[in-house]
């Protein structure tokens, strides 16, 4: 056989071997893409948590059919100064969207009340602080204290809910089992109305439409509650809140949970809330209320807005401990969409 023929055979065999290696590589890549999505829990990398569209309890049909129109995200960056943290919040929710005691004259101005920390579960997150003897309500020394962030009339329309709109809200949430509570209220999330009326013609904006709260019950200990209010009656008398769910505080305490809310803002609206533990994926709260009154507006200028943080009664101050309380939040997401 000539030297040229030998070289041609060697070349052909080499090309065949390379071709088979290429096919094997394609198969391995395809199997990896279709296989498990588990990730490392090493301290250097936050654990990946399934989003609201996957895992956990079966999803309501309305959630599955949600078509995204807009999405706004507020995430901590690990900033070490309060000025950076406050600036990042206001860059998303609008200037004046922070109601922290250190921002109001006559209140607890000597220390920042929203900090940033990082852990191995959710990564960078916000820490909201409350101090029993020092914090007030936007400078007002009343029977309550407030440290919240919100959207409001100076925020972009993408983070405000107008009549007939459907919105989703998502965030991660952490509370400690030893946090002190009273028989009054401690709110961590609110959907509040802006109602351009003083005559209670459609409720009013005094009472939140929805609250995620906690109380200390004398008989059963600490309780997590989701409440719904229809506002005041037309004669000015106050209505009672309706409990959509009452759960054990211990079901969420000392662990990160993910909260998902979907709301359609209408007189006969729709409200969904799911709270899922990050660690084991257990669903703690699963609410799906149809034909629920989710609207208080009387004009095209009215809207519903979210609030997060610590807003609590101090009427039973002796039940609150002097130690600084810390409530953590991460990765706020606000979406608008259609069903």
Give the highest mean pLDDT range of 33-42, 77-86, 214-223: 77-86
Residue at token pair 């509570």: 181
Question: Quick check: 17 pLDDT over 80?
Answer: no
So what's the pLDDT on residue 197? Answer: 81
Mean pLDDT for the stretch of residues 175-195 = 96
User: Does residue 51 have a pLDDT over 60?
Assistant: no
pLDDT per position as a tens digit, 238-274: 899 999 999 999 999 999 999 999 999 999 999 999 9
Domain boundaries, the chain: 61-338
| Separation of alpha carbons 113 and 336, rounded Å | 30
State the pLDDT at residue 106: 96
Q: What is the pLDDT of residue 49?
A: 43
Residue 201, burial from CB neighbour count under 10 angstroms (0-12, 13-18, 19+): exposed
The span from the CA of 49 to the CA of 298, in Å, is: 40
pLDDT band for position 3 (50/70/90)?
very low
> Quick count: other Cβ atoms within 10 Å of Cβ 250?
13
Higher-confidence residue of 286 and 217: namely: 286
pLDDT digits (tens, 9 = 90+) for 56-115: 445 565 577 899 999 999 999 999 999 999 999 999 999 999 999 999 999 999 999 999
Q: What is the mean pLDDT of residues 295-315?
A: 96
pLDDT at residue 35 tops 90: no
Q: According to the model, what pLDDT value does residue 60 have? A: 60
Greater confidence (48 vs 326) lies with 326
Per CATH, the number for 61-338 is: 2.60.120.200
Q: How many CB atoms lie within 10 A of CB 142?
A: 13
pLDDT class of 40 with cuts at 50, 70, 90:
very low
More confident residue, 251 or 28: 251
Question: Considering only CA atoms, which of 186, 173, 73 is closest in space to residue 127?
Answer: 173
HEC per residue, 132-161: CCCCCECCECCCEEEEEEECCCCCCHHHCE
Looking at residue 59, its pLDDT comes to: 55
Please compute the mean of the pLDDT values over residues 113-141 and round it to a whole number. 98
Average confidence score pLDDT of the chain? 86
Q: How confident is the model at residue 290 (pLDDT cuts 50, 70, 90)?
A: very high
């Amino acid at each position: 056989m000539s030297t040229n023929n030998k070289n041609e055979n060697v070349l052909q065999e080499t090309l065949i071997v390379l071709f088979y290696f290429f096919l094997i590589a394609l198969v391995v890549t395809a199997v990896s893409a279709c296989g498990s999505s588990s990730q490392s829990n090493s301290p250097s990398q936050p654990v990946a948590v399934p989003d609201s569209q996957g895992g956990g309890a079966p999803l309501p049909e309305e959630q599955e059919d949600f078509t995204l129109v807009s999405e706004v995200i507020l995430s901590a960056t690990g900033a070490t100064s309060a000025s950076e943290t406050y600036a990042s919040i206001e860059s998303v929710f609008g200037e004046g969207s922070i109601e922290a005691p250190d921002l109001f004259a006559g209140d607890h101005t000597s220390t920042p009340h929203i900090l940033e920390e990082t852990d191995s579960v959710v990564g960078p997150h916000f820490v909201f602080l409350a101090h029993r003897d020092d914090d007030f309500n936007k400078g007002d020394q009343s029977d309550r204290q407030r440290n919240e962030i919100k959207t409001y009339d100076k925020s972009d329309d993408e983070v405000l809910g107008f009549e007939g709109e459907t919105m989703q809200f998502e965030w991660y949430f952490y509370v400690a089992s030893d946090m002190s509570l009273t028989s009054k209220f401690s709110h961590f999330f609110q959907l509040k109305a802006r109602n351009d009326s003083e005559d209670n013609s459609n409720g009013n904006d005094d009472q939140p439409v929805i609250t995620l709260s906690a109380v200390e019950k004398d008989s059963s200990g600490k309780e997590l509650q989701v409440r719904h209010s229809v506002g005041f009656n037309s004669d000015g008398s106050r209505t009672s809140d309706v409990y959509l769910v009452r759960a054990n505080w211990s079901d969420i305490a000392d662990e990160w949970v993910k909260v998902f809310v979907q709301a359609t803002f209408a007189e006969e609206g729709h409200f969904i809330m799911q709270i899922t533990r990050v660690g084991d994926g257990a669903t703690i709260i699963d609410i799906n209320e149809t034909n629920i009154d989710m609207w208080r507006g009387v004009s095209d200028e009215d809207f519903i807005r979210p609030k997060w943080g610590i807003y609590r009664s101090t009427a039973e101050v002796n039940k609150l401990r002097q130690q600084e309380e810390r409530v953590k939040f991460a990765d706020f997401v606000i979406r608008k969409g259609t069903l």
